[in-house]
Amino acid sequence: MKTKATYTIRMLARLVIIVFLFSSCVSQKRIQLLQEKSVKDISTGFVNNRNTSYHLQPGDQLYISVHSVDPKTSRLFQTDFPNPMTATYQNLNSYRIEEDGYINFSFIDKVYVKGMTIKEVNDLLQKTVNEYFKEATVVVQLVNYRVSVLGEVEEPGTFIIENKQINILQAVAQAGGSKNFGNLKKVKLVRQTITGSELYYIDLTDNGVLQSDQFYLMPNDVVYIEPLKSKSFAFDNFPYTIFLSTISTAAIVIALFR
């Protein structure tokens, strides 16, 4: 009787372990990045044009500096920079694009910049400054370059991009990486445009993403990694309490009648 009861308890224990394993395991194909799917021959490398030509929108903030060999010219444009340059300084000394698409730049009339790229604004202001000053150089930077990473990542949030360029893999890494139950085959990317928002679906398990137009992120992009359906089953639908209660009761009954 004792041997039979012991055998039964061991079988129940094994059943519990098996249930937990099947309810929590995730296939490696679901979480492994950049698998050879779209591109089988990777010996020639991946071509990506790094299309990051973001078009400015109302609410964006531009940090504009004018450098000159003439100290008086530099002071006119408040370019006595602190050392080191900080993001706070840039933010406080930036120019906001108003709803009508204009910025009010020092000593120059209002300039329409809505829908332009940073380079186009830089060229326009350089041409305008050249009409008033000699040997002056204009530098334009976007202050509010932020991307957000949400969902099944270790540290979701909004991040300020300092190097002015980031790809989707780097953004996920900055958020601490994806959790085991993150659906990397269908990552959502929400991108703001002049006319509204666009939604893209990206498969991070496919190495073809390296050639995608959405591989490099743009300011205000939102990356969302949704949970796998297996997570919902494992943690929400499976009746762990009832199952474990039944196992415990069965073990007690067997122990009493040994």
> Mind listing the pLDDT tens digit for each residue in 113-122?
999 999 999 9
- pLDDT tier at 194, thresholds 50, 70, 90: confident
Separation of alpha carbons 102 and 50, rounded Å: 28
Instruction: Provide the Cα torsion 48, 49, 55, 59; round to 10°.
Output: 40
Using alpha carbons only, give the angle 117, 221, 26 rounded to the nearest 5 degrees. Answer: 145
Out of 124, 142, 160, pick the residue that ends a domain.
142
202 and 150 in a single domain? The answer is: yes
Please report the pLDDT score of residue 241 as a whole number. 64
**Residues 76/69, Cβ–Cβ less than 8 Å:** no
162 and 43 in a single domain? The answer is: yes
95 and 43 in a single domain? The answer is: no
Out of 119, 142, 165, pick the residue that ends a domain.
142
- pLDDT tier at 221, thresholds 50, 70, 90: very high
In this prediction, what percent of the chain has a pLDDT beyond 90? 33
Which tens digits make up the pLDDT trace of 124-138? 999 988 888 888 899
Q: Which residues are paired to 7 by β-bridges?
A: none
222 and 151 in a single domain? The answer is: yes
Please report the pLDDT score of residue 173 as a whole number. 95
The tokens for 213 are: 């137009």
> What's the total number of domains in the chain?
3
Per the prediction, the chain carries an average pLDDT of 77
SS3 assignment for the chain:
CHHHHHHHHHHHHHHHHHHHHHHHCCCHHHHCCCECCCCCCCCCCCCCCCCCCCCCCCCCEEEEEEEECCHHHHHHCCCCCCCCCCHHHHHHCEEECCCCCEECCCCCCCEECCCCCHHHHHHHHHHHHHCCCCCEEEEEEECCCEEEEEECECCCEEEECCCCCCEHHHHHHHCCCECCCECCCCEEEEEECCCCEEEEEECCCEHHHHHCCCCECCCCCEEEECECHHHHHHHHHCCHHHHHHHHHHHHHHHHHCC
| Interval 185-193 mean pLDDT | 91
238 and 180 in a single domain? The answer is: no
Q: Please give the residue that has the higher pLDDT: either 257 or 200.
A: 200
| Interval 82-102 mean pLDDT | 74
- pLDDT tier at 88, thresholds 50, 70, 90: low
73 and 124 in a single domain? The answer is: yes
Please report the pLDDT score of residue 85 as a whole number. 55
Domain span at residue 94? 61-142
115 and 98 in a single domain? The answer is: yes
119 and 69 in a single domain? The answer is: yes
33 and 15 in a single domain? The answer is: no
| Interval 129-151 mean pLDDT | 89
Please report the pLDDT score of residue 69 as a whole number. 79
Query: What CATH number does residue 72 fall under?
Result: 3.30.1950.10
Using DSSP bridges, classify how beta strands 197-202 and 222-225 pair: parallel, antiparallel or unpaired. Answer: unpaired
- pLDDT tier at 248, thresholds 50, 70, 90: low
107 and 122 in a single domain? The answer is: yes
- pLDDT tier at 180, thresholds 50, 70, 90: confident
Q: Does pLDDT of 230 surpass 70?
A: no
Query: What CATH number does residue 221 fall under?
Result: 3.10.560.10
Closest CA to 57 of 107, 106, 105, 121: 121
Q: Does pLDDT of 57 surpass 80?
A: yes
What pTM was estimated for this model as a whole?
A: 0.65
Q: Does pLDDT of 246 surpass 80?
A: no
Query: Lowest-confidence range among 11-25, 131-145, 200-214, 227-241?
Result: 11-25
101 and 80 in a single domain? The answer is: yes
Q: Please give the residue that has the higher pLDDT: either 155 or 70.
A: 155
Q: Does pLDDT of 50 surpass 90?
A: no
20 and 33 in a single domain? The answer is: no
